[in-house]
Chain A
Amino acid sequence: MSDAGWIRLAVIAAAVLALELACRLGYVDAFTVIAPSQMAAALINVLTSRELLIEISASLLKVAVAVSASVTAGIVIGIVLHPMKRVRRIVDPLLSSYYALPLFAFYPLFIVLLGVGAASIILMGFVTALGAMVLSTLDGLDQIPQVLTKVGRMHQMGPIASMLRLQLPAAAPYVLAGGRLAIAYAFIGVIASEFILSGQGLGFEIGFAYNSFDTRMMYGLILFILLLVIVLNLVLHAWDDRLRLRRRPVRD
Chain B
Amino acid sequence: MMAATKPLVSSIAAPSQQGSSNALAHVEVEKVVKIFRGAKKTADVHALGPVDFSIRRGEFFAVVGPSGCGKSTLLDVMAGLSRPTAGKVVFEGSQVLGSVPSGIGAVFQDDASFYWLDVSENIAFGLRQNGTDPEEVRRRLDYAISFMGLHDFAKAHPAQLSCGMRQRMCIARTLVMQPRLILLDEPFGALDQQTRLLMGEELLRLWRETGASILLITHSLDEATMLADRIGVMSARPGRFIDIITTGWPRERTSEIVSDPQFGAINAHIWTLLRKESLLSMRGQQGSAENRG
Contact = CB atoms under 8 A, between A and B. Distances in A.
B102 A156 contact: yes
Contact of B114 (A156, A166, A249, A252): A166
Contact of A252 (B104, B157, B163): B163
B158 interface: yes
Contacts of A170: 114-116
Nearest to A168: B116
Nearest to B157: A246
Given A153-B100, A156-B100, A250 B112 contact: no
Contacts, number: 73
Q: Give the secondary structure class of B's interface.
A: loop
Interface stretch (B123-131, B217-225, B261-269): B123-131
B79 interface: yes
B159 A247 contact: yes
A230 interface: no
A44 B39 CA distance: 65
B279 interface: no
A252 B112 contact: no
A247 B160 CA distance: 10
Interface string B150-188: 000000011111111010000000100100000000000
A150 B99 CA distance: 11
B90 interface: no
Given A246-B157, A250-B159, A252-B163, A151 B115 contact: no
B116 A250 contact: no
A240 B34 CA distance: 43
B105 interface: yes
A252 B129 contact: no
Interface of B: 79, 81, 99-100, 102, 104-106, 108, 110-112, 114-117, 125-126, 129-130, 157-164, 166, 174, 177, 192
Interface of A: 145-148, 150-151, 153-157, 161, 165-166, 169-170, 172, 243, 245-250, 252
5 contacts: A147-B108, A154-B81, A172-B116, A247-B159, A250-B161
